[in-house]
Amino acid sequence: MNLFFVRDTLMRAIERKKTLLALSVLFLFMTILGISLVSSPAVYEYQLSVTDKFMTEICFSDDSVFLIFLSRTAGFSLLLLLVLAGGIHPVALLLPLAVLLYRAFTFGGSLYVFFSFYGLSGGLVVFVLYLPVHLCVDVCLLLAASLSVGRAFGFCFCKNDFLGLLWDFLALFLLIALVCFVEMILLLVLFHPIGNIL
């Protein structure tokens, strides 16, 4: 691996255009399904708890933004690890599929709840913070899923394949950490007092 391993990882993921297109269409379908099924009382309650958690624990939390950055980076990294772990065997591809479908479904429902329950303040949170961060992380997860599909049918449990998996994780982890860092800056500028850095 050279110093441009992030670029190499991205190029390998983007080369699988049909896989990325199929995953993106599936993601969009589940997002629309999440929006349309939110009228069910059980789904609405669940989506309301998801958005309320985002508002209270991220936007208007008393925690330091650095702790929020660490917890968000760790949480997204765990999802990334699950998606990339799907590349070790064709049956394991159910992992990235489950992660992406769940994120798309809750994304759609949360968008609806942000606007219907929180109104104008919800719209501000969506456009300034929730939508860009969620979509950037989802793009990283879609790229990871593309890599997993390409790897699953030829993965050998040997050192080189595991090293390739590690390099892919590190490359996408850096991108996710960058997204979370930008989120931290936005939280500090828009929602948290300056004393909430640490």
Q: How many domains does the chain have?
A: 1
Q: Within a domain: residue 3?
A: no
Residue positions counted in the chain: 198
For the question of whether the overall pTM of this predicted structure is more than 0.85, the answer is yes
Model confidence at 1: pLDDT above 70 = no
* H/E element, 128: none
Output the six-digit token pair for 162. Answer: 């595991």
Q: How far is CA 197 from CA 49, 77, 91, 139, in A?
A: 26, 22, 43, 28
Closest CA to 94 of 83, 104, 103, 105: 83
Q: Within a domain: residue 8?
A: no
Instruction: Look at the block and give the residue holding tokens 């190029």.
Output: 11
What is the domain range of residue 19? 13-196
Q: Within a domain: residue 108?
A: yes
Residue % of the chain over a pLDDT of 90: 61
Model confidence at 151: pLDDT above 70 = yes
Q: Within a domain: residue 47?
A: yes
Q: Within a domain: residue 134?
A: yes
Q: What is the pLDDT of residue 158?
A: 75
CA distance 116 to 39: 11
Q: Are 142 and 100 in contact (CB under 8 A)?
A: yes
CA distance 30 to 103: 9
Number of helices and strands in the chain (H, E): 7, 0
Q: Within a domain: residue 54?
A: yes
Q: What is the pLDDT of residue 60?
A: 85
Q: Within a domain: residue 190?
A: yes
- Mean pLDDT (the chain) is 90
Tell me the angle at which helices 17-36 and 131-152 cross, rounded to the nearest 10 degrees: 130
Q: What is the pLDDT of residue 94?
A: 93
Q: How far is CA 124 from CA 31, 58, 68, 118, in A?
A: 20, 14, 20, 10
Q: Within a domain: residue 2?
A: no
Q: What is the pLDDT of residue 155?
A: 77
Q: Where are the beta strands (DSSP E) in the chain?
A: none
Residue % of the chain over a pLDDT of 70: 95
Q: What is the pLDDT of residue 119?
A: 86
Q: What is the pLDDT of residues 98-143, one digit of tens each?
A: 999 999 999 999 999 998 888 888 888 889 899 999 999 999 999 9
In sequence order, the 6+-apart residues with CB closer than 8 A to the CB of 73 are: 176, 177, 180
Q: What is the pLDDT of residues 62-74, one digit of tens each?
A: 888 999 999 999 9
